[in-house]
A and B are shown apart, each in its own frame.
Chain A
């Protein structure tokens, strides 16, 4: 589904990513782990077109994503959430999710003014879809309040709902459980599993090992920009290089 091939990124003399290649098969939850500074978020930024890679390519199916500007990558089918939360605080949850939907300017101003009936129908459809997405993350009861008043964990979930609104084929999730308490994390794991079961392919960056091992069917491990292991959770857990680099002696 998502193919990353020989991706290299250098900031000045610092090689943040070095010839990283892996493939995310369709329909699974794929984990990307590694210590701080391993290059995980940089990899996300390369996939989504925020940063330009020095060498290497990213394909979604047969489509080359490398070189596309971020909004085109989104349209091609990559949705993402951010490590630092970026919701629209002054808009309601419903509006936040609807902003994520495609083709905002399809009708332009004239269309908005002239094609009011058809426009209203589409608005209604969008609103229903947004409510549905919110319900996937148990946020539907708060649909009409301002997003700024949500708790930290809820804001993260709202980002997920908004990313889903772009109708992505692959969903990139950057540290969803950051700042969540164990109960919230547990709930989130259930919701991510549900999303995956609905047919979304998910690429997940996460520090919480319990979450990664419990959730992901496959895992890639980055260390100082180099891919040091790739495989099923059981293999990763036993890989001595991974244990040394990241997991520590007590795992």
Chain B
């Protein structure tokens, strides 16, 4: 029983981590709490649905394409909503509020186009195979979700840590002004990060859409507080923190559903978050916030 629940938790947690990763990336580099991330998550799921139903693509072909589409949407949000505010040195709450507007617009557009009811992938889209190991049942989909999530997270970490592009991104995260003076194309980094973060968010949307086989315009909304919780838990802007935080939240949710009641799912998860923050106010991997000397 516990092993089975752990596998379920790992699956859910890895998608949460993927979602939170994009969220934390934008916060770390652009210093914006992007409340449109949930809408991009939803848009990714719909993009995959369209590619599967209208273009008859295999879901594993549709997934990367849906991620590209979500990335493009993220880039669009950055250019239309966030860039004008950057230029004007706006108060730091303004971009956050502006992303609420973008989220509302995208969600309502989805509602107008697809209707408010839940859409589902056609039969045969989702791999139904499963493996029985003793008393534990693992579905092919679960394996795919975990592998894809971890591959994407690993790829991002390697790029950030090992490549020159990654160094430029981390330099901008620590101090955009100095980076600019050193000749780094800061706007280019912002565009790249917006795209990548949204692609990860959209990818998470596809995976959640698959695992519950339910896609609806408001599916991103419950993810937003979770995403915020995960990045606070992990340490604001920290990539490893988002991964560990996402997994933690997945475990907390699945376990409280399994052993208490689904009514307490969010209460337990957020209660644990609260307790951890009492002990470690800057999150699991957070440093004392100190930037821009």
In the assembled complex, B89 has its CB within 8 A of some CB on chain A: no
In the assembled complex, A197 has its CB within 8 A of some CB on chain B: no
- List 20 contacting pairs A-B, 8 Å CB cutoff, sorted by A: A70-B181, A70-B183, A71-B181, A84-B293, A88-B170, A90-B287, A91-B174, A99-B179, A99-B184, A101-B164, A104-B165, A105-B165, A105-B168, A105-B188, A107-B165, A109-B192, A109-B195, A112-B159, A112-B165, A113-B159
In the assembled complex, B137 has its CB within 8 A of some CB on chain A: no
Across the interface, do B164 and A104 meet the contact criterion of CB distance under 8 Å? yes
Measured as residues with beta carbon below 8 angstroms from the partner, the interface class of chain A is: 20 to 34
Contact residue among A48, A105, A112, A122 (Cβ-Cβ distance under 8 Å from B185): A105
In the assembled complex, A15 has its CB within 8 A of some CB on chain B: no
| Docked complex Cα distance between A70 and B195 (Å) | 25
B residues within 8 A CB of A5?
A: none
Q: Which residue of chain B has the shortest Cβ distance to A84 in the bound complex? A: B293
The CB with the most chain B CB atoms within 10 A, among A95, A104, A162, is that of: A104
Across the interface, do B183 and A71 meet the contact criterion of CB distance under 8 Å? yes
In the assembled complex, B88 has its CB within 8 A of some CB on chain A: no
The majority secondary structure among interface residues of chain B is helix
B residues within 8 A CB of A109?
A: 159, 165, 192, 195-196
List residues of A (77-114) whose CB comes within 8 Å of B's CBs. 80, 82, 84-86, 88-91, 95, 98-102, 104-105, 107-109, 112-113
List residues of B (176-201) whose CB comes within 8 Å of A's CBs. 178-186, 188-189, 192, 195-196
Q: Which residue of chain B has the shortest Cβ distance to A103 in the bound complex? A: B164
| Docked complex Cα distance between A95 and B290 (Å) | 19
How far in angstroms is the closest Cβ of chain A from B90? Answer: 21
Q: Which residues of A contact B (CB under 8 A)?
A: 48, 50, 70-71, 74-75, 80, 82, 84-86, 88-91, 95, 98-102, 104-105, 107-109, 112-113, 119, 122-123, 126, 162, 166
User: What 9 A-B pairs come out closest when comparing CB atoms?
Assistant: A74-B183, A104-B168, A86-B178, A99-B171, A71-B183, A88-B174, A70-B181, A105-B188, A112-B165
A residues within 8 A CB of B163?
A: 112, 119, 123
| Docked complex Cα distance between A95 and B155 (Å) | 19
| Docked complex Cα distance between A166 and B178 (Å) | 13
A residues within 8 A CB of B182?
A: 71, 74, 99-100, 162, 166
Across the interface, do B167 and A99 meet the contact criterion of CB distance under 8 Å? yes
| Docked complex Cα distance between A82 and B115 (Å) | 57
With A108-B192, A122-B164, A123-B163 in contact, is A71–B184 under 8 Å at CB? yes
Q: Which residue of chain B has the shortest Cβ distance to A85 in the bound complex? A: B293
List residues of B (93-138) whose CB comes within 8 Å of A's CBs. none
With A88-B170, A109-B192 in contact, is A70–B180 under 8 Å at CB? yes
B residues within 8 A CB of A95?
A: 167, 170
| Docked complex Cα distance between A75 and B184 (Å) | 10
In the assembled complex, B162 has its CB within 8 A of some CB on chain A: yes
In the assembled complex, B211 has its CB within 8 A of some CB on chain A: no
| Docked complex Cα distance between A113 and B155 (Å) | 9
| Docked complex Cα distance between A112 and B167 (Å) | 12
